[in-house]
A and B are shown apart, each in its own frame.
Chain A
């Protein structure tokens, strides 16, 4: 059980910073709370007492959403469900709805926030590799001012980020990629509420004929302490014509990716399969020509 003496709901960033300064050493910032509450139970952390909880989910800056032709700005308190309900957002960030549809379940998605998923920095966090594929930057604010950094540099290890005492993640900025096809591959024991053993975010842009890879972005997580872009495979695929042979070659590139503590052999097999399946799914959504992406390929890897 999570026990607290005070539950604060600051209405602004300034109020939040004041609460953090006043209660230094005895508070935790929460947003959706969907990870924190189940963590404080028998079998995991047990009963946890945190004197002051500071709920930042309703602060206006953390709920902003701005989409223009090139960039998207997402407030940190954006609920995961928004990627499924907001058509413009889904179009601008093509891999995020594919990630959201696998994320927990309907009820949790309505409350869980993108900021919480990233700041908790679980190696199995799904939103993180997906936003990294969209070249996201993290924005942080404190009483001292604002700063930002690349999301891929923000995650330092399991449960560790570059966030400093007194700072709050306020939002993320990433590339708007309409016209790209996205996919998100994830494996676990069941359909909902799955903790990723492997998760792969894929974004593909094809040329006008739908035959050649113009841009590819791959970001993998679940198999290592922090997510990783697969630039070697991205560089290999860029400019080449889509074909089964090409995808097999990409999936066979000798990259030693799996650094998990358990089930390495299984995860290696899954990574290979995900690369091919994820690229096929993203290419299809990007408008692949049926000569390059045949029905036989789809059937073989679907």
Chain B
């Protein structure tokens, strides 16, 4: 197996590490880096709980072969509460009691964060559109 020598930035930190070539970005993040916030819900690119930012664009990490992330800036759900304090959106989810089993929530929070980063004044319809990639 020809390992990929991956050089990326993850949640602001430089990471330089060998990775098996068949891994998905999701596997690398969870198993190699121990960042288990984002999850594998379906493994089919439908539920969105694997969603992470790659160079600022929200993408499904279960659909991304790890080599595709070469040189990229990756931000997982862990990047939102970096200083130890929940982001405004995370606090809102918490306050509204949005999480039940919690499995879809990392993806929902990422998609909601992406939606408001794109348009801070997004109305209900636009938000629904932006969450269309999550169950």
Do the two chains bind? Answer: yes
> Knowing that A7-B22, A107-B58, A111-B63 are A-B contacts, what are 8 other residue pairs whose CB atoms are under 8 Å apart, sorted by A's residue number?
A5-B1, A5-B2, A5-B22, A7-B21, A7-B66, A30-B65, A34-B60, A191-B129
A41 to B67, CA, bound (A): 20
Shortest A7–chain B CB gap in Å is 4
A111 to B21, CA, bound (A): 19
Q: Which residues of the other chain, B, contact A192 by a CB distance below 8 angstroms?
A: 132-133
Contact partner, B67, options A1, A5, A9, Cβ 8 Å: A9
Q: Which residues of the other chain, B, contact A37 by a CB distance below 8 angstroms?
A: 24, 45, 62-63, 65
Task: Tell me the chain A residues, 23-75 only, with Cβ under 8 Å from chain B.
Answer: 30, 33-34, 37-38, 41, 53, 55, 57
A33-B58 in contact given A4-B21, A106-B114, A192-B133 (Cβ < 8 Å): no
Query: B21 near A6 (CB under 8 angstroms)?
Result: yes
A183 to B10, CA, bound (A): 40
- A244 interfacial by beta-carbon distance below 8 Å: no
Query: B70 near A9 (CB under 8 angstroms)?
Result: yes
What string of 1s and 0s marks CB contacts (under 8 Å) between B92-135 and chain A?
A: 00000000000000000001001000000000000001101100
B residues at A contact (CB < 8 Å): 1-2, 4, 21-22, 24, 43-46, 48, 51, 57-60, 62-68, 70, 111, 114, 129-130, 132-133
A to B CB contacts below 8 Å, 10 in the list: A2-B65, A7-B21, A9-B70, A34-B63, A55-B65, A106-B130, A107-B59, A111-B60, A192-B133, A193-B133
B46: nearest chain-A partner, CB-CB? A193
Chain A CB within 10 Å, residue with most, of B4, B45, B57, B62: B45
Query: B45 near A38 (CB under 8 angstroms)?
Result: yes
What string of 1s and 0s marks CB contacts (under 8 Å) between A88-106 and chain B?
A: 0000000000000000111
- A297 interfacial by beta-carbon distance below 8 Å: no
A105 to B57, CA, bound (A): 13
- A3 interfacial by beta-carbon distance below 8 Å: yes
Query: A7 near B4 (CB under 8 angstroms)?
Result: yes
B contacts with A: majority SS: mixed
Shortest A181–chain B CB gap in Å is 22
Shortest B24–chain A CB gap in Å is 7
Q: Which residues of the other chain, A, contact B129 by a CB distance below 8 angstroms?
A: 191
- A108 interfacial by beta-carbon distance below 8 Å: yes
A5 to B22, CA, bound (A): 7
- A162 interfacial by beta-carbon distance below 8 Å: no
Query: A105 near B133 (CB under 8 angstroms)?
Result: yes
A197 to B46, CA, bound (A): 18
Query: B58 near A110 (CB under 8 angstroms)?
Result: yes
A11 to B132, CA, bound (A): 34
Q: Which residues of the other chain, B, contact A2 by a CB distance below 8 angstroms?
A: 22, 65
Query: A106 near B58 (CB under 8 angstroms)?
Result: yes
Q: Which residues of the other chain, A, contact B51 by a CB distance below 8 angstroms?
A: 107
A1 to B4, CA, bound (A): 18
Q: Which residues of the other chain, A, contact B44 by a CB distance below 8 angstroms?
A: 38, 41
Query: A41 near B65 (CB under 8 angstroms)?
Result: no
Query: A33 near B63 (CB under 8 angstroms)?
Result: yes
B130: nearest chain-A partner, CB-CB? A106
A193 to B62, CA, bound (A): 15
Contact partner, B59, options A38, A53, A111, Cβ 8 Å: A111
A108-B70 in contact given A7-B21, A192-B132, A192-B133 (Cβ < 8 Å): no
Instruction: Give 4 closest A-B pairs by Cβ, nearest first.
Output: A105-B133, A192-B132, A7-B21, A38-B44
Shortest A116–chain B CB gap in Å is 12
Q: Which residues of the other chain, A, contact B65 by a CB distance below 8 angstroms?
A: 2, 7, 30, 33, 37, 53, 55
Query: B21 near A107 (CB under 8 angstroms)?
Result: no
Contact partner, A108, options B2, B24, B67, B133, Cβ 8 Å: B133
